[in-house]
Amino acid sequence: MLRVTDVTFSYEENLVLEDISFSVKKGEHFGIMGESGCGKSTLLQLIYGILQPNKGEIYWGDSAIEGPLFSLVPGKPFMKYMSQGFDLMNVTTVAENIGEFLTVTNKQELQKRTKELLEMIEMPAYGDRKVKELSIGQQQRVALARALAQEPELLLLDEPFSHIDNFKKNSLRRNLFAYLKEKQITCLTATHDHQDILPFADRVMVLKDKKVLADKPIMELYRNPKDLYVASLFGEANWIPIEVLKSYADTKRKIIVYAHEFKVSFNSGLAAKVIQSYSLGTHFLVKGTTSEKIVFFHSDKFLKPETDLYLNIPLDIINLRLRDNKE
């Protein structure tokens, strides 16, 4: 199990993380989300031992993970870190990069393991290609395979799909995270893209203003976001007063409403006017305005600017948000 206890870190006078604590079980997929600059990458570098905490402790089981003040070489044999820099050998082949750290001495076993990893990243025909000849997205896929070559107990991924073509991302995500679950490899994925973790992570931690803002099972956090910041990490969302949605409601509280949770009506509901419609292929994201504020919602059809309509939200969604966000 990974344990991070009261970790604080600053770059000189710039405080980045303060009193960060969490634990991750063996085989668990733990997502780390937050806006750029919130400390996601810094946290992974602290866990790997590249950076030295100002205070706090990091343990994997009974093994302390020490920073550069105590260990000149970062990392431990049981862990691998895939940074945004990839750290590949450009003048050697893809297969050589993947097989570099494999401990197997049998040539057949080495080839078998390399082939398995090439298939996992969907590059079986690229084993003999030099890394420098690959696109940046292909290099990122090789870096993933290389990080997995020794089947680490703990894998740290920093924006692991950021350079990969959209049409490849989904299948690669499925391949990778199914592989990790099968092998019971503990994984921490730092990302700004909810598609990297929403279908795959067990838990997610949100960082904001140097602190842990939320740490919950992924679907619990998605269904019941603490505030608009957390909800916005998963898509377009709105912060709506209950009394605007239900005029009879005896409360001044507000709830989060995702864009897809609104239902468009031309009969009754929250009065709104269309500003602009944006095609998302299967549906439209609509920017509108109400008497209160700007609002975002989905529509099956294109809606012209200045169209008057009404918005409704199912009562079970309202009750869910009121029940689970009582503060």
Produce one character per residue of 94-132: b if its CB has 16 or more CB atoms within 10 Å, e if not.
bbebbbeebeeeeeeebeebbeebbebbebeebbeeebe
Q: Which residues of the chain have pLDDT under 50?
A: none
Same domain? For 123 and 196 the reply is yes
Distance CA 314, CA 322 (A): 13
Q: What is the pLDDT of residue 22?
A: 97
Residue at which a domain ends, from 187, 205, 225 = 225
The pLDDT score that the predictor gives to residue 325 is 61
Containing structural domain, residue 269 = 236-324
Q: Write down the pTM of the prediction.
A: 0.90
Candidates 132, 45, 46, 111; CA nearest to 84 is 45
| Structural domain includes residue 303 | yes
Any domain includes 129: yes
First to last CA, the chain: 32
Domain total of the chain: 2
Q: What is the CATH number of the domain that holds 293?
A: 2.40.50.140
Confidence at residue 261, expressed as pLDDT on a 0 to 100 scale: 96
pLDDT score for 103: 64
